[in-house]
């Protein structure tokens, strides 16, 4: 049975740089406040009218495909991870197929909705398809356009200052080389605290899951809910923007990050000292630094770029991995560890022998 390897990798971030100082025009915050809590200095925002989640994915995908040494028509399956799709439906997978100009091949397209751990989940799915021989060239993309859905006021600063836009992509292919490519992936979830990091409305839940239905727009008088429509009440109360209980997320993340990394290492008989490079999801620099200390890794063994790009959710790992590779920090035979934790809660890890 073959392993799956990353044959090509690419990323794209918009040209527009948004500094912390620029955000102070819209909310009560400071550069010092943001850096102290997140480590972020700046992020990229897409052009509101000219760039989309899919268009950024196309640019990242084209680079990955070229570096893999194949043509676009050679792609036989697409996996697209995002929480900010162009449309409520259909998903971005078919839109990417169309914009790449390969619709005639009628290949399958799968959309992944696992937010921050979306790329890890997508990598695990692609790995299984490659190992079974079902597909030979899988395009896996993580892309996000967060800037269109954030609350840029003081009320929303706890979330708005964190996120940025961008896309990353890889092409996975089979390899017969022993102990090469994806060695293992580990996936987990715990939905008991799903609303601690969520965008509740618009949605089709009708307040069903919530004890305080009024808090989520449920109207007892006519027993209706805004559904997938954004009502005046939803906008007034800002239920259509992301909510995050930062302390709850941090507490869970610093527990599960090390656990899932150790789980993967134990399965293949390796230790943290064997890691050449850890590329964590870029959620918060403080989380990455905590995980680094827990794993006993040096600064050279961990790659962070959240300082420049913010949290790009499903795109953060492929962007960081590609940038690390371009900077010569990922070399042949290196043991690369990818790990993510996010909304759901979902989390996972992957070990790759480059």
Same fold, 3-175 and 181-193+244-353: yes
> What is the rounded CA–CA span in Å between residue 278 and residue 354?
13
Strand 166-175 and strand 197-198: pairing?
unpaired
pLDDT, tens only, 90-121:
999 999 999 999 998 899 999 999 999 999 99
Q: Is the pLDDT of residue 65 over 90?
A: yes
> What residues are labeled active site?
116, 281, 311
pLDDT at 211: 52
pLDDT, tens only, 178-219:
889 999 999 999 999 998 988 887 666 655 555 554 444 445
CATH 2.60.40.10 at 181-193+244-353, yes or no: no
> What is the rounded CA–CA span in Å between residue 303 and residue 107?
34
Using pLDDT thresholds of 50, 70 and 90, give the confidence band for residue 28.
very high
Q: So where are the chain's domains?
A: 3-175, 181-193+244-353, 200-240
Using pLDDT thresholds of 50, 70 and 90, give the confidence band for residue 221.
very low
Secondary structure letter of residue 149 according to DSSP: S
Say which residue, 235 or 213, is predicted with more confidence: 235
How confident is the model over 165-173, as a mean pLDDT? 98
pLDDT at 243: 85
Q: Is the pLDDT of residue 316 over 70?
A: yes
pLDDT at 160: 94
Percent of the chain with pLDDT over 90: 81
Q: What angle do helix axes 246-267 and 285-295 make, rounded to 10 degrees?
A: 40
pLDDT at 225: 45
CB 77 within 8 A of CB 129: yes
> What is the rounded CA–CA span in Å between residue 118 and residue 3?
21
Take residue 76 and report the two structure tokens written for it: 């036989």
Secondary structure letter of residue 219 according to DSSP: B
pLDDT at 213: 47
pLDDT, tens only, 279-296:
999 999 999 999 999 889
Take residue 2 and report the two structure tokens written for it: 């073959």
State the pTM of this model. Answer: 0.93
Handedness of CA 277, 115, 5, 140 (dihedral sign): negative
pLDDT at 218: 47
> What is the rounded CA–CA span in Å between residue 119 and residue 281?
9
Q: Which of 131-140, 158-167, 207-216 has the lowest mean pLDDT?
A: 207-216
Which CATH number is 3-175 given?
3.40.47.10
> What is the rounded CA–CA span in Å between residue 241 and residue 263?
35
pLDDT at 226: 43
Among 14, 82, 12, 80, which residue's Cα sits nearest to residue 48? 14
Q: Is the pLDDT of residue 1 over 90?
A: no
> What is the rounded CA–CA span in Å between residue 301 and residue 299?
5
């Amino acid at each position: 049975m073959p392993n799956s390897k990353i044959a090509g990798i690419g990323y794209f971030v918009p040209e527009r740089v948004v500094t912390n100082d620029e955000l102070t025009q819209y909310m009560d915050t400071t550069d010092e406040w943001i850096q102290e809590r997140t480590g972020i200095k700046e992020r990229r925002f897409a052009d509101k009218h000219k760039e989309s989640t899919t268009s950024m994915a196309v640019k990242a995908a084209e680079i990955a495909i070229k570096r893999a040494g194949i043509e676009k028509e050679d792609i036989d399956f697409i996996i697209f991870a995002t929480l900010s799709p162009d449309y409520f439906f259909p998903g971005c997978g078919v839109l990417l197929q169309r914009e790449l100009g390969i619709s005639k091949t009628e290949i399958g397209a799968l959309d992944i909705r696992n937010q921050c751990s979306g790329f890890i989940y997508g990598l695990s799915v692609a790995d299984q398809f490659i190992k079974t021989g079902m597909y030979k060239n899988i395009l896996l993309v993580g892309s996000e356009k967060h800037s269109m859905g954030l609350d840029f006021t003081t009320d929303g600063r706890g979330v708005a200052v964190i996120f940025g836009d961008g896309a990353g992509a890889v092409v996975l292919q089979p390899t017969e080389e022993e102990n090469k490519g994806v060695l293992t992936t580990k996936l987990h979830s715990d939905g008991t605290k799903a609303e601690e990091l969520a965008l509740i409305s618009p949605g089709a839940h009708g307040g069903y899951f919530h004890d305080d239905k009024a808090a989520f727009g449920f109207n007892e008088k006519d027993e209706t809910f805004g559904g997938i429509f954004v009502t005046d009440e939803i906008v007034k109360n800002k239920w259509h923007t992301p909510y995050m209980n930062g302390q709850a997320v941090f507490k869970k993340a610093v527990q599960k990050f090390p656990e899932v990394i150790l789980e993967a290492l134990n399965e293949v008989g390796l230790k943290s000292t064997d890691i050449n490079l850890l590329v964590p999801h870029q959620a918060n620099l403080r989380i990455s630094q905590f995980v680094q200390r827990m794993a006993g890794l040096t600064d050279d063994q961990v790659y962070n770029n959240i300082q420049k790009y913010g949290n790009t959710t499903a795109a953060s790992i492929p962007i960081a991995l590609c940038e690390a590779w371009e900077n010569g920090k990922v070399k042949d035979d290196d043991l690369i560890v990818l790990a993510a934790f996010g909304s759901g809660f979902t989390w996972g890890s992957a070990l790759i022998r480059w």
